[in-house]
Structure 1
């Protein structure tokens, strides 16, 4: 199994919207990718919550059956289509993939 964790810090303003609106849109776009390929075992998108410590605004925690499933997700047209928006609104990105 492969875990794929990504965190994004968003710009205060981008694409005509503020950070909170862009975080919500990003969550909706990512949530729509939850079942787009076989081999996605877990797919969870969360937003930073007021009152809880967070240095990033959006996190994706996902588990894939194997590297082929992650690669299929990365290359899927629906996932590829959301990348321009994410790139436009992000200030920083951290990612870690690891096998267990």
Structure 2
């Protein structure tokens, strides 16, 4: 199993509604992108200097499934929504 974790920092001018919309769009990929086994998305509640603003946790059966998810048209659309709203992206992918 592959676990895929991504954290983003929003640009300062991104309103709260768009932050929630990003969360909703990511969560909506479950059941649409067939290789995505599970997904959880959370918005930061502390806002410390070390905090990122939003995190995604997802699971895939294999690296090939993660790659298929990355190329899925609906995932690509969500990425197009995300890119202009964030200034940082950090990711970790690991096998369990």
Q: What range is the shorter-chain TM-score in?
A: 0.7 to 0.9
CA shift digits 1:4-35 (9 cap, x unpaired): 00001101114xxx2x2221010011011112
Deviating 4+ runs (over 4 angstroms): 51-54
Is the CA contact 1:7–1:94 (under 8 Å) kept in the aligned structure 2?
yes
- For residues 85 and 38 of structure 1, the distance between their equivalents in structure 2, rounded to whole angstroms, comes to 21
In structure 2, the gaps of 5 or more residues are none
Which of 26, 29, 32 aligns to 2:22? It is 26
Q: 2-side partners of 1:93 and 1:52: how far apart? A: 16
The reply on whether 1:96 has 2:96 as its aligned counterpart is: no
More strand by share: 1
Gaps of 5+ in 1: none
Task: Give the TM-score, by structure 2 length.
Answer: 0.87
Q: Residues 1-100 of structure 1: matches in 2 within 5 Å? A: 1-14=1-14, 18=15, 20-49=16-45, 51=46, 55-100=51-96
Count of residues in Structure 1 that have an aligned counterpart in Structure 2? 95
Residue 52 of structure 1, CA deviation: 7.3
| Distance apart, 1:38 and its partner CA | 3.1
